[in-house]
């Protein structure tokens, strides 16, 4: 499991835009990440939930974290930077509230050149709260 400063070595985002607290597991094509919603989250709404935009960003940063883990495994000096090219099939069943832990499973699918298709599913406990497919352009 990776946390805190270890995450900062894998993703390009910095506070207050870091939307991944932990990497619980990863392999060549999958990762499980987590975000505990805090009241000072940049995407916090007046009703005490985070926005749908935050969920998309969390899924995207989870993809970035997996790319960072893969770069670390390959002993690369710097992890690649991924840019969201497209978001498809986004569904939000509910927005997380303060103190809830969002766990996201990422799967990398088809890759062609610098483009990777990834899917992400975010849950709180066993409850699916969001999912999306992302097209990511990877800059080495």
pLDDT band at 5 (very low <50, low <70, confident <90, very high): confident
> Whose CA is closest to 37, among 99, 81, 125?
99
pLDDT at 99: 97
Report the mean per-residue pLDDT for the chain: 94
Residue identified by tokens 């709180």 is 124
> Whose CA is closest to 2, among 96, 87, 49, 68?
68
Bridge pairing between strands 30-36 and 101-112 = antiparallel
The answer, yes or no, to whether residue 52 has pLDDT greater than 90, is yes
pLDDT at 60: 97
pLDDT tens digit sequence for 100-117? 999 999 999 999 999 999
φ/ψ (deg, to 5) at 100: -85, 145
Query: What string of DSSP letters covers 43-63?
Result: TB-TTSBB-HHHHHHHHHHHH
Structure tokens at 86: 């497209």
Mean pLDDT calculated for residue range 122-130: 98
pLDDT at 80: 85
Q: Measure the CA–CA gap between 84 and 90, rounded to whole angstroms.
A: 13
pLDDT at 127: 98
pLDDT at 78: 82
Contacts of residue 89, Cβ cutoff 8 Å, sequence gap at least 6: 131, 132, 133
The helix/strand/coil state of 36 is: strand
The answer, yes or no, to whether residue 140 has pLDDT greater than 80, is no
Give yes or no for a contact between 69 and 20, defined as CB atoms under 8 angstroms apart.
no
Q: How many CB atoms within 10 Å of residue 69?
A: 19
pLDDT tens digit sequence for 54-97? 999 999 999 999 999 998 888 888 888 889 999 999 999 999 99
């Amino acid at each position: 499991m990776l946390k805190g400063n270890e995450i900062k070595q894998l993703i390009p985002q910095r506070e207050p835009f870091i939307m991944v607290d932990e990497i619980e597991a990863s392999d060549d094509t999958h990762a499980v990440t987590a975000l505990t919603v805090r009241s000072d989250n940049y995407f916090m709404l007046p009703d005490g939930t985070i926005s749908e935009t935050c969920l998309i960003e969390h899924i995207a940063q989870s993809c970035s974290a997996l790319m960072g883990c893969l770069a670390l495994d390959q002993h690369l000096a710097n992890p690649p930077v991924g840019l969201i090219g497209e978001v498809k099939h986004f569904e939000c069943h509910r927005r997380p509230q303060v103190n809830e832990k969002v766990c996201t499973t990422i799967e990398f699918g088809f890759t062609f050149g610098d483009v990777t298709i990834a899917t992400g599913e975010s849950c709180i406990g066993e409850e699916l709260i969001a999912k999306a497919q992302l097209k990511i352009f990877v800059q080495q």
